Structure 1
Amino acid sequence: MPRFWCRTTLRHVLPARSSFSTRAAMHAAAAARRLLASLAFAAAFVALAAGCGRSPESRASAGDTARASDTARAAAGSTYADEMARRHTGEEPVASPAARRAPDTAVTGREVVYGTVAGEKLTGYVAVPEYAAADSAAGDSAKLPALIAVHEWWGLNDNIRRVARRLAGRGFRVLAVDLYADRVGETPQEARRLMKQVTSDTKAIRRNVEAAYQHLAGEHDASQVGIIGWCFGGGVALNSAIALPGSLDAAVIYYGALENATREALRPVSMPIIGFFGAQDPSIPVERVRRFEQTLGELDKDAEIYIYEDAGHAFANPSGERYVPRAAKDAWQKTIDFLNYYLKE
């Protein structure tokens, strides 16, 4: 077992698929779930506003017992975005050879408008297997399981587009959303500013993710819809899982903030969750990850939580300086196995 991870927890053995599940039943359930989406989003993203906008100590007073380092940051008036800026000091999102890895099968990608918020168009990047794009052009059905991909704090940059293409190469329709309205951080200071601006208006985040879901589930009639996010996007993925317990079919969280992962918040979650964290990431203390894992277990949720011993924050980003290849490779394979099981019929 590689030293890069200190432990892996499979909270539940993957259950066998039901032999009596039918496409009709799934469609009926999906229609009912979509009706609940608008109502469910609001509550969880109100919590996101509180979590991202306040210091760790103020979040602790709302029910999350923070470790000593959180309290120290709070005393200095720190926020999660400030901590990220410190952790990424001197870095910039420059692509490495690993970031340029080609998809497993031919993929086509393009910019797409997937909705509107306050009259402004939401433009993201969609990637699909080439064979599916050809089928659609010919008028044939190109129904695929789908993923909403939520970018890191840098924004929707080339790294996220490449990851979307790699996921599409595994047989998914992937919509990489843009929460920064076509802006990208090139320095930690720019990324911090963008992240703070966006998290000050969580209704816009909610509507953005909801529009992505409706685009995939409605316009493309996706068979299943999951969500995946990294860093800032990992926190959005978790909050979306909390907000849409009856709509999303799977959630993948790469080192996303866990401040809102209280017992009451997690109680309605119904989709399977997989999470990846680095033991050397002071912005998400290991103790907090273990509490998250423990709470999911006590609530009898289908969840897999992995902690990599020698990895820190952003260990899976091949365009960053904190990239840990072996941990990233292991997490990627686990991600693909998880998505194949839960999103593909």
Structure 2
Amino acid sequence: MYARRTVLKGAAALPLAAVLADPLLSKAVAATLNEADLVTNGGLNVKGFVAVPEATPAPAIILIHEWWGLNDQIKAVAADFAKAGYVAIAVDLYGGKVATDPETARSYMGQVNGEDAIDTLSSWIDWIKQEPICNGKVATIGWCFGGGWSLNASIARDVDATVIYYGNVARQAADLKELKGPVLGHFAESDQWINHEMVDKFEAEMAKAGKPVTTYWYDAQHGFANPTTARYDREDAALAWERTSAFLAKNL
């Protein structure tokens, strides 16, 4: 117990990127979250992990993991949001499965049922809006696989802000009209999949829908904000996080 407290004390003094880059620190911080069980509107039994700030009621943020699954890094980001004054819910769309190699991650991602994912995300948004720890304002944020689902969740339910890190944004104006709040997107110039062609079309469709969107491009690769991969770009990740923090503070 003493060793764990020592690790947590050290983690509290470190920037988020340093915590995410260290598996021991990420695991220790992730363990501070509260596990929550939820029966979705469609009858699914799902789990999430909740970080609660010192002062409530507070705005809430729904975090959606990368294609790796809900690992300690995403939970640690949720804990950091709680330190900043938000209720943070790290949602699991893989049913507890976590990948450590690209082949397995790709397999898990391919197994996700779209209707179940929307049911899960919508239900978490509905749940937190009714909880006394939430002031009624909600945002979504996701990375990679989760970036696309951050947008999908915001289309399915009214939220106050949406953040997308290099996620699939191939949606039409008819769908985007359902968005309530503004969208912030972070994209990488060297991304071979979430590229300018896709994002330019997304911006055009957002304009048709009359919805506000801000996009930033970084001279980096897909996944540049993840300190655990070789594609991590420290300066761009820090800038994107600064922009994300300001965006959420403004809209929540």
Q: 2:51 aligns with which of 115, 119, 127?
A: 127
Do structure 1's residue 215 and structure 2's residue 120 form an aligned pair?
no
Note if 1:243 corresponds to 2:152: no
Superposition deviation, residue 119 in structure 1: 5.3
Distance 2:43 2:120 in 1: 12
TM-score (norm 1): 0.62
Which residue identity is paired with 1:273? Answer: V
Moved over 4 A (4+): 100-103, 116-120
Task: Please give the alpha-carbon distance, in whole angstroms, between the structure 2 residues aligned to 1:213 and 1:269.
Answer: 14
Under a length normalisation based on structure 2, what TM-score does the superposition of the two structures give?
Answer: 0.84
| Equivalent residue, structure 2, for 1:114 | 38
1:314 aligns with one of 223, 229, 245: 223
Q: Which residue of 1 aligns with 2:206?
A: 296
8 Å CA contact retained: 2:33, 2:49: yes
The residue aligned with 2:75 is 161
* Cα pair distance change 1:322/1:230, threshold 3 Å: same
| Post-superposition CA distance 1:29-72 (Å, at most 9, x none) | xxxxxxxxxxxxxxxxxxxxxxxxxxxxxxxxxxxxxxxxxxxx
Could you say which structure has the larger radius of gyration?
1
CA RMSD of aligned residues (A): 2.4
Q: Structure 1 pair 262/119, CA: closer, same or farther in 2 (3 Å)?
A: closer
1:278 aligns with 2:185: no
Distance 1:318 1:220 in 2: 34
- 1:253 aligns with 164
Query: Would you say 1:229 and 2:229 are equivalent positions?
Result: no
Gaps of 5+ in 2: 1-16
Note if contact 1:117-1:204 (Cα within 8 Å) is conserved in structure 2.
Answer: no
Q: Is the 8 A contact 2:69 2:99 kept in 1?
A: yes
Letter in 2 for 1:257: N
Deviations 1:233-290 (A, max 9, x none): 001011112222xx2111101111122x222222332211100000100011212212
Q: Distance in 1 between matches of 2:154 and 2:100?
A: 29
- 2:227 & 2:203 partners in 1: Cα distance? 26
Distance of aligned partners of 1:272 and 1:324 in 2 relative to their CA distance in 1, 3 Å threshold = same
Select the structure with the greater relative contact order (CA < 8 A; seq sep ≥ 6).
1
Q: Contact 2:184 / 2:213 at 8 angstroms: preserved in 1?
A: yes
Shift of residue 120 of structure 1? 4.8
In 2, the alpha carbon distance for the partners of 1:313 and 1:145 equals: 29
Identical-pair percentage: 38
Q: Which amino acid aligns with 1:99?
A: L
